[in-house]
């Protein structure tokens, strides 16, 4: 009851239009010029996340907030083709289908994993894996309401190199009172058992900072949206899980082995969380083989890198990058990223979204080598 009243007070605080606090600007002069970035695709609707296979196949989601007809697509022949087919893109009885898929990843076995948040837990959240050669579902799991219930938001995830463990960022809906508590979900692929860890821990919560792009605050019906843990990435050794809130100036990390240890109490697990570095607001993040962490920065239309020296460096920055969102390394050192332009999508009419098309997928070579699909 105390938590409910606290959320109600927070909601009223935002609606009252009280003074807002903004993020520090840690960005700097970009290393690369804007013309070093290539346009991969121009799209009619905003993309969400992206996964590029080692044989150059490009898979991505159309962002659920754009109310797309195609939920998961492959960019081939200069157009977005429904994957695995058009029937999978709509509700159907007795068969699996896509509802609100935002994130997807390709693992070391070349399986395409898709994460469906089930419209913030109102419908059925699920995770599926596809054989990209055949389009057949090879793994499916529906999350029980005690793992991803009403107000949850299964936003982004990482698959371990072995394919045995998946780490999911449950952001919680970004509206006080309505949103559930943010957490990390650890899913055991073999046993199909999921656990919530670090629930409502300081490292997964949104700060009180307000997201601003240009001179416009990111809000819905006058409510400043506070987005909790979303950015999540494993290092290539599967040793560290890096994560942070969108509305947060700190990047955290914890050893993956601690997250998988059932014997650790919540208090003991919390004690292993480390502050790794300062960061800008961020959406997608990924890592390369040298341990660098790449983060997208929607406030400054930029992509940054944080090395093991824990200092942030700006790689690219250009107004054309409208809300840099998801990442995937592809072959030959290319880093692909989507731009979802959520400032012109969330809470906007269908006509407004169409007027702001095209939406882009870009790529550039940051200098590091990554694992395709991540």
Domains in the chain, number: 1
Q: What was the pLDDT predicted at 218?
A: 84
Query: Tens of pLDDT along 161-190?
Result: 999 999 999 999 766 555 679 999 999 999
Q: What was the pLDDT predicted at 17?
A: 44
Q: What was the pLDDT predicted at 174?
A: 67
Q: What was the pLDDT predicted at 244?
A: 98
Average the pLDDT over 125-131 and give the result: 98
Judged by DSSP in three states, 270 sits in helix
**Beta pairing, strands 212-213 & 216-217:** antiparallel
Query: Tens of pLDDT along 257-294?
Result: 999 999 999 999 999 999 999 999 999 999 999 999 99
Here the CATH number for the domain that contains residue 97 is 2.120.10.30
Residue 13, domain member (yes or no)? no
Q: What was the pLDDT predicted at 5?
A: 35
Residue 309, domain member (yes or no)? yes
Residue 10, domain member (yes or no)? no
Query: Tens of pLDDT along 295-325?
Result: 999 999 999 999 999 999 999 999 999 999 9
Mean pLDDT rounded to a whole number for the chain: 92
Query: Tens of pLDDT along 2-23?
Result: 343 334 334 444 444 456 788 8
Residue 14, domain member (yes or no)? no
Residue 369, domain member (yes or no)? no
Average the pLDDT over 206-228 and give the result: 83
DSSP single-letter state for residue 12? H
Residue 24, domain member (yes or no)? no
Instruction: In whole angstroms, give the CA distance from residue 316 to residue 319.
Output: 10
Q: What is the domain extent for residue 254?
A: 32-364
Residue 269, domain member (yes or no)? yes
Average the pLDDT over 240-268 and give the result: 97
Beta strands in 56-203 (DSSP E): 58-62, 72-76, 79-82, 101-106, 111-116, 126-131, 137-142, 154-159, 165-170, 183-188, 193-197
Q: What was the pLDDT predicted at 172?
A: 93
Q: What was the pLDDT predicted at 12?
A: 41
Residue 208, domain member (yes or no)? yes
């Amino acid at each position: 009851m105390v938590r409910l009243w606290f959320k109600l007070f927070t909601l009223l605080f935002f609606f009252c239009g009280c003074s807002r606090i903004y993020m520090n600007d840690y960005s700097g002069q970009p290393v690369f010029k804007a013309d070093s970035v290539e346009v991969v695709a121009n799209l009619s609707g905003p993309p969400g996340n992206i996964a590029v296979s080692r044989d150059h196949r490009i898979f991505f989601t159309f962002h659920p907030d754009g109310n797309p007809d195609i939920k998961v697509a492959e960019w081939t022949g200069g157009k977005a083709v429904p994957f695995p087919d058009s029937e999978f893109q709509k509700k159907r009885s007795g068969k699996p289908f896509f509802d609100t898929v935002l994130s997807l990843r390709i693992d070391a076995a070349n399986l395409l994993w898709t994460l469906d948040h089930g419209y913030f837990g109102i419908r059925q959240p699920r995770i599926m894996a596809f054989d990209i050669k055949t389009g057949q579902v090879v793994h499916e799991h529906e999350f029980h309401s005690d793992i991803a219930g009403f107000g949850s938001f299964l936003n982004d995830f990482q698959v371990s190199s072995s394919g045995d463990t998946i780490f999911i960022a449950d952001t919680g809906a970004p509206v006080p009172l309505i949103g559930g508590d943010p957490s990390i979900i650890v899913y055991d692929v073999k046993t199909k058992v999921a656990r919530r860890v670090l629930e409502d821990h300081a490292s997964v919560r949104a700060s009180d900072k307000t997201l601003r792009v240009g001179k416009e605050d990111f809000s819905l019906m006058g409510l400043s949206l506070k987005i909790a843990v979303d950015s999540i990435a494993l290092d290539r050794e599967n040793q560290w899980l890096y994560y942070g809130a969108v509305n947060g100036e700190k990047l955290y990390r914890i050893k993956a082995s601690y997250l998988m240890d059932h014997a650790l109490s919540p208090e003991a697990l919390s004690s292993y969380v480390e502050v790794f570095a300062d960061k800008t607001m961020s959406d997608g993040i990924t890592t390369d083989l040298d341990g660098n962490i790449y983060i997208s920065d929607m406030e400054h239309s930029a992509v940054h890198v944080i090395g093991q020296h824990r200092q942030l460096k700006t790689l690219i920055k250009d107004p054309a990058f409208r809300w840099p969102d998801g990442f995937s390394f592809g072959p030959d050192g290319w880093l692909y990223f989507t731009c979802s332009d959520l400032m012109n999508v969330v809470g906007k009419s269908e006509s407004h979204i169409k007027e702001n098309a095209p939406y882009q997928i870009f790529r550039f070579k940051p200098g590091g080598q990554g694992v395709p699909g991540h």
